[in-house]
Structure formats: structure tokens, C-alpha cells
Amino acid sequence: MPAAYRVYVLQNREGRFYIGITDDVARRIGQHHAGESRWTKGRGPWRLAWQSEQLSLSDARKLENRLKRQGRGTGFYSMTGLHSEGS
């Protein structure tokens, strides 16, 4: 059986988001908190704000790219169900 992946969104206290993909969300969040990710290092603490259902690697990559292309526009919020700070 192929591995299942999830797209996840982390959020920090300043309201910044990080979008990633993993086959183990808990392990990956631990890596972010330990400073093992260059972009999130020094910008935490982070909390899990959203995660997708289990997907194939191909579908997870497609979803991750779609979310990243949305920026922080209305598409990002409608796709994840999250709310912007201003709403």
C-alpha cells in the first residue's frame, strides 16, 4: 500500500502561515519546533491550523502548490476553512 501524505498549515503568534507536506504530521511539527526547517526556524512557536485528508504523494503535492499559489487571498481561506485576522 502506498504511503499516505497530508498537506498541513502551521500558524505562529504573528499570524504567519507555513504550508507543508508530510507523511507524519506530528513528527514534522516536532521538527519545526526543533528548528530543523530553515523557513520556520526562529519564527515559532507554531500550531497546527489545518491538515488535509490522507492523499497520494502526487495529489498532496498538487494541493500544496494550489494553496501556496493562493497567497493569503480568499482562495486560501476558502480552501482551508481558516479565517483571516481581519474577518
41: cell is: 526556524
- The whole-number pLDDT of residue 85 equals 66
Q: What is the mean pLDDT of the chain?
A: 90
| Residues 26-31, mean pLDDT to the nearest whole number | 95
* Alpha-helical runs (H) found in 1-69: 25-33, 57-69
DSSP at 43? S
pLDDT over 70 at 57, yes or no = yes
Considering the chain, what percentage of its residues have pLDDT values greater than 70? 94
- Second CATH level (architecture) for the domain 6-80: 3-Layer(aba) Sandwich (3.40)
Peptide bond into 2 cis (omega under 30): no
87: pLDDT confidence band, cut at 50, 70 and 90? Answer: very low
- Sign of the four-CA dihedral 79, 66, 36, 52: positive
| Residues 37-57, mean pLDDT to the nearest whole number | 94
54: cell is: 490522507
- In terms of C-beta density within 10 A (0-12 exposed, 13-18 middle, 19 or more buried), how is residue 64 classed? buried
pTM, full prediction: 0.89
1: pLDDT confidence band, cut at 50, 70 and 90? Answer: low
